[in-house]
Structure formats: C-alpha cells, structure tokens
A and B are shown apart, each in its own frame.
Chain A
C-alpha cells in the first residue's frame, strides 16, 4: 500500500471538497453549481470535464502510478491533462489552449 500522497491538510481539504457547490438551495447564484455527488458528506470524488480543457478532480482522491507509487498532487483540487500535450503529465499545464484542443464538457454520444 503506497503512502497516501496527501497529508493532513489535504484530508481536511478533501473533506471540505465534499461540500463543494453545496449552497442554500434558495440562492439563485448557487443552483447552477450543485453537482451530482458533491452534496455535503457524500464523500464522493468528482471529476469535472472542462470544455476544451483538463479534468478537474476534487475529493479524497489518491493519484498512483501503475506500480502503485504515489504521485504527489500538491493541492486539494488537481487538473489532469486530457489533451496529451502537457509537459507535467498527468497534470495540465495549459498547453491545451495553444494547441486548440477541443472537447465538449458533455460526453460524446456513441455513433
């Protein structure tokens, strides 16, 4: 079992990330934001598909190599490259923009 890449602060943040987007339902500013699986206390890790950009990962996640080596995340929320062009994989370094990477936030439909 590899050591968790996050430390106490990360775990705290991870717990807090569970509250992410949870806001008073009566607040019109907040309604658009509440995402599935992010309700307070759900403990679910969320992966957000950013339009033309990376995957944002929030929650009590752990990044590991195929050999089980820990990959330090360095922060509570990370952006994982999905354009393939980053120089700091698996993280995004913004290279997707210069390359004109295109991907909708919504999933591609089969066929």
Chain B
C-alpha cells in the first residue's frame, strides 16, 4: 500500500515528511555509544536502500528536534496542539493522519521508510493526535456504570443488547442496491483486511485464563492454521465477488474519517498497555453484536446475486461469533475483571466506544444513502492523482 492523497493540513505535513527518510537523531543515552544503540557506524539502513545522509548527533537540527521532543513540547514542525483541532471523530484529515501513524505498526507503506515506525518525531506527533482522539472519545462516549468487577458480564450483555441505533444490516438485507453494498464493503475493508490484528496486541499483555481466551478467539479469526480460512482472506473473496480490488489498503483514500475512527480506536486501545481493558471490552462488543447482523449481510448479498464464495465471510461470522461472544464476554472479560478489578470500568468503556463508533458510522452511511449520495469520500481534489473507480480497480 502507498500513502493516499492528503486530506488537509495535517496529512499534508505528515505525508510530506513520511515520504522522506527520517532525519537521524541522537540515539545515545548519556553520551555512551554502543550498548545496543545505533552509533555512526551502525546507523540503520533503510529497507529500500536509501540511507539517510545525516549522521546521528552530527546534525544540529536533529539534536535540536530531539531536545525539543524530550522537553515535551511536541515535534518540531508539527502544529501546536491547538492547530491539531479537536480530534473530531468524523474529521477526515485528523483521522487519516492518526491512521497513517498507526499503519506503520501494521503493514506500513511502500513509500514510507520503515524506520519512521519508532522515530521520536513520529511518536511525538502521534501522541499529540492520540491525546485529542482520546478526548474526543471521552466527549462522545459516557462511561457506563458498573457495580463491581463481578457485574462486567451482565453489564456487557446490557450494553450490547441496547442497540437502538440505525441498522445498516437491515437496510442491506432488504433495500440496498449493489452499489450501496459495494460501498459498505469498501468501508469495512479498512478493518476486515487486517481483521483481528489490533486485538492481537493484547495477547502479551494478558495472563492466565484471559490470555488463553483471547488466543482461542484469535486462532479462529486467523483460520485455525489454514491461511485460506483466515477471516481477512474470506473477506478478500467477498471483495472479489463484488468486483472490488482486494489488495490491502486499496480504498484507504476513499473512506471518510468516521470509518477510519472505527479502526483508530482499536489501534489506540491495542498499542497502549494501559488501555488493555478497553481493548478486551472492545473485542467483546464486536463479537457480541456480530452474529445477527452478519446473517443479514449474507441475506442482502445473496439477494443482490452474490454467490456462496462471496457470502462465506458473513456465513462464517454467524457461527464463529456465536462462539467468540461467549468466550470474549466470559472467559476474556469476566476473567480479566476478576484478575485485575481496576480494569473493570475500562472494559465497559472500550465496549461502549466500539458501539458508539459503529452507531456514528451507521448514521453517516444511512444519512448519505437517504440523500442519494455516496457514503464514501467525494471525488478527490484535482491535484490528487486520478484514482480508478471501484469497477475499474477490480480489473487489476
């Protein structure tokens, strides 16, 4: 995958920096070289062969940037927090910037040097974005009440049962046309092509029964040892069946901010150990609200002429998630809350975040469709390299 077109000032600045190799920074502590740290001799080479011309510490600017960073003032050249905006959950520019920062930890971008993943400038920039994103989630999602860690299972049941939001699955089952179903799949491709990956970050952060439960779910998500059964692979078959490009990240440039926010929340929870409770709750919420909608997706796809190969992803989830929801709610979340009572509240909050983001996303999509317009990003601005349409892209 390559970087998509920028969507505003944040992504313009970020992508402009990412397409260049990261500036070297003084990667030494207390002036001691070596000890596993990069020195001038060991300066890491970029995977694509380009080597930063600058040497660590020999460059006044990078030293300045580093001092600036560790002083806690944010990254040099990065807009002050005020300019980052309020991290709106539907802000295309903001969400794409955060998504790109996170993607460096997954498959990365062909046109971005892998060293950016752990570069202090990038991490400082990401931290600014994450702070705003966490604040935005905090404003959008109330912390569910809970009487004690023992109540987690029941509270999860109540949260996920209370599903009064607009139903995309019902619309898809009964009314959607093929174009709308394809749009739905394009939105979902952002997550489903890396399905399960964000929650896998929690595995080394859990212990005992909660860890075993998460691994049991993830093993099934990853096909139980059979690559062709991986859920991400099944989803690629769905995409092909609809004439869509099934390559990873093919539609990153076409989805709105709220779709990216859905994935960004998982990455936020996944990449911060302190948020492991929220990650567990997030997974439980996904699993507990999955079986019945997936049945409706399958119905809708078949109504629109989809064959069994295309519908398999949805058929599979009807049964798989009926299993996963039991394991996630009881073996993962209830055990985690019992073992670490301090996380109980976070478990519910993570679940509530997943549900609220899904509601906001559904609201966006159904509102656009009601008005007879696309739920994807409108035709990009002129300076953006022409992107092929969905149908054309399928011919690759």
CB contacts (< 8 Å) of B323 on chain A: these are 56, 75, 77-79, 92
CB contacts (< 8 Å) of A24 on chain B: these are 208
| Cβ contact within 8 Å between B220 and A76 | yes
| Cβ contact within 8 Å between B331 and A33 | yes
Given contacts A29-B208, A93-B295, contact A74 B330 (CB under 8 A): no
| Cβ contact within 8 Å between B326 and A50 | yes
**Closest A-chain residue to B154, C-beta based?**
A51
- Quick one: CB contact mask for B149-183 with A, threshold 8 Å, 1 for yes? 00001000100010000000000000000000000
Kindly provide the distance from the CB of B212 to the nearest chain A CB, expressed in whole angstroms.
Answer: 6
Total A residues in contact with B, Cβ cutoff 8 Å = 37
Give the docked Cα–Cα distance between A68 and B161 (Å): 38
| B319 on interface, CB distance cutoff 8 Å | yes
Give the docked Cα–Cα distance between A21 and B321 (Å): 20
Give the docked Cα–Cα distance between A92 and B326 (Å): 11
| Cβ contact within 8 Å between B209 and A56 | no
Partner pick for A93 among B153, B212, B319, B327, CB 8 A cutoff: B319
Given contacts A50-B326, A77-B220, A93-B292, contact A29 B210 (CB under 8 A): yes
Partner pick for B322 among A9, A29, A76, A91, CB 8 A cutoff: A91
CB contacts (< 8 Å) of A91 on chain B: these are 319, 322
- Quick one: CB contact mask for B195-223 with A, threshold 8 Å, 1 for yes? 00000000000111110100010011000
Give the docked Cα–Cα distance between A75 and B229 (Å): 10
Give the docked Cα–Cα distance between A27 and B335 (Å): 12
| Cβ contact within 8 Å between A27 and B208 | yes
| B225 on interface, CB distance cutoff 8 Å | yes
- Give the dominant DSSP class at B's interface: helix
Give the docked Cα–Cα distance between A76 and B16 (Å): 47
Given contacts A29-B339, A78-B323, A88-B318, contact A9 B292 (CB under 8 A): no
Give the docked Cα–Cα distance between A9 and B339 (Å): 32
Partner pick for B291 among A21, A33, A76, A93, CB 8 A cutoff: A93
Interface residues of A (CB under 8 A from B): 9-10, 12-13, 20-21, 23-24, 27-30, 32-34, 48, 50-54, 56, 74-79, 87-88, 91-95, 97-98
A–B pairs, 17, beta carbons within 8 Å:
A28-B208, A28-B339, A29-B206, A29-B207, A33-B209, A33-B335, A54-B326, A75-B319, A75-B323, A79-B319, A79-B326, A88-B318, A93-B295, A94-B291, A94-B318, A94-B321, A94-B325
Interface residues of B (CB under 8 A from A): 153, 157, 161, 206-210, 212, 216, 219-220, 224-226, 290-292, 295, 316, 318-323, 325-327, 330-331, 335-336, 338-340
